[in-house]
Amino acid sequence: MKKALAAVVLFALGCLQPALAQDKPANATGGIQGQNIFEVKPDASADKGYDQQTNAERAKVQPGNNAPMWRNVGDGLSGYTSLPKSQAPEAGNLVQPIVQYPGSLNTTAGEAWRQVRNNWIIPYGGALLLIIAGAIALFYFSKGTIGLHGQETGRKIERFTPFERSAHWANAIAFVILAVSGLVMAFGKYFLLPVIGSSLFGWLTYLLKNMHNFAGPVFAVSLVIVIVTFVRDNLPSKGDLTWLLKGGGLLSGKEVPSHRFNAGEKVVFWFGVFALGLIVVASGLVLDKLIPSLMYDRGTMQIAHMVHAVSTVLMMVLFLGHIYIGTLGMDGAYNAMRTGYVDETWAKEHHELWYDDVKAGKIPTQRSNSPSPVAAPAAKA
């Protein structure tokens, strides 16, 4: 049966053959011959140096075949343009040259960037954020909030001055706007678009993108102020290593004594606030085209985007931990940053060396002129 069917098909094709041949122009000089668009004549691909031909040379042997021109376009070759390079750095260049970004194939830069973004940053960055958020939730539900062991005394020590709190909250609010808008821009199409639909998602993303652009500079300025304000008490000191080796005493339940900021906070400060903060800000300013006299071509933007995306994901991961400890994770921490004051018991239990220094009069109980709730008795000078 099968054989009979094959014979019929072959016969039908045989009958068609002369008809197809008649479709070809009698004196074909070149170009596509007949219905079969792959049948380009003259077939010059066996010519010597065929692959090295320019478009003009190719046109002579195979009229209509523009492969050399498109190969040049794909290789990042720029055509002639009279526009000044300073104003239009990439005019005349349609496709960027071949590069290999970390994690991409050796291909045209736009495609290489797309591969890094879609194959690495989005899936692995998203997974990392979810894993850390899940780990924090697990920790919270298994360990709960770190509370005070002793009774509160009612005597307060000023932990943060109004200036320190203003700098911190300006920075934190800008950070939250940036984080939320950044997450929606990067991952929103996976978790929001299917729920709210394309019209609302389009408007929301447009709004958030503009908020991102404006919150960025606020974050940059407040970040510098935060760094300058808190750098002194985040300098490494004796005991930091012990604190880190013992994990702050989190598992043993006996907190390792620390100065005003413990080694965990110092790691967040140096790695999260200082290093990542500056990288995030620098790459963000490039993406916002705010750095004067920089050439904003596609390659620069692609690199700035990849640096920005990776460093912001790492920064968000670190700050998820910071925000958790500063709110749900530890009783009294959020109040310290909200009101500026902590109870003596809190200071003794969480920052014992700092408390000792306050008690010894090396650090004043009250550093600003803001009214204290019930300040601890003035420390002896």
330 - beta bridge partners?
146
Contact letters for ligand HEM, residues 223-242 (x by CB under 6 A):
x--x---x---x--------
> Pick from 58, 117, 159, 348: which binds ligand HEM (CB under 6 A)?
159
320 versus 375: smaller Cβ distance to ligand HEM? 320
Please answer whether residues 29 and 63 qualify as being in contact, where contact means their C-beta atoms are separated by less than 8 angstroms: yes
Strands 98-99, 40-41: pairing is: unpaired
> Pick from 304, 336, 347, 376: which binds ligand HEM (CB under 6 A)?
336
Instruction: Please list, in sequence order, all residues whose beta carbon lies within 8 angstroms of the beta carbon of residue 147, skipping any fewer than 6 positions away.
Output: 331
Interface region with ligand HEM, contact rule CB under 6 A, candidates 41-49, 245-253, 327-335, 373-381: 327-335
Least distance (Å) from ligand HEM to the CB of residue 152? 16
Concatenated DSSP letters of 298-352 = HHHHHHHHHHHHHHHHHHHHHHHHHHHIIIIIBTTHHHHHHHSEEEHHHHHHH-H
> Pick from 101, 319, 341, 354: which binds ligand HEM (CB under 6 A)?
319
Total interface residues for ligand HEM by CB under 6 A: 25
C-beta atoms surrounding 15 within 10 Å? 9
Least distance (Å) from ligand HEM to the CB of residue 157? 11
Least distance (Å) from ligand HEM to the CB of residue 263? 10
Contact between 341 and ligand HEM per CB under 6 A: no
77 versus 375: smaller Cβ distance to ligand HEM? 375
> Pick from 236, 327, 361, 378: which binds ligand HEM (CB under 6 A)?
327
In terms of phi and psi (left: phi > 0; alpha: psi -120 to 50; beta: otherwise), the region of 64 is left
- Subset of 130-149 contacting ligand HEM (CB under 6 A): none
Query: How many angstroms separate the CA atoms of 31 and 33, rounded?
Result: 6
Measured N-to-C along each axis, helices 277-287 and 193-230 cross at an angle, to the nearest 10 degrees, of 120
Q: In angstroms, what CA-CA distances link 159 with 96, 259, 338, 379?
A: 54, 12, 10, 15
Query: How many angstroms separate the CA atoms of 69 and 58, rounded?
Result: 10
Contact between 270 and ligand HEM per CB under 6 A: no
230 versus 355: smaller Cβ distance to ligand HEM? 230
Which residues of the chain form contacts with ligand HEM (CB under 6 A)? 159, 168, 171-172, 175-176, 223, 226, 230, 234, 261, 265, 268-269, 273, 277, 319, 322-323, 326-327, 333-334, 336-337
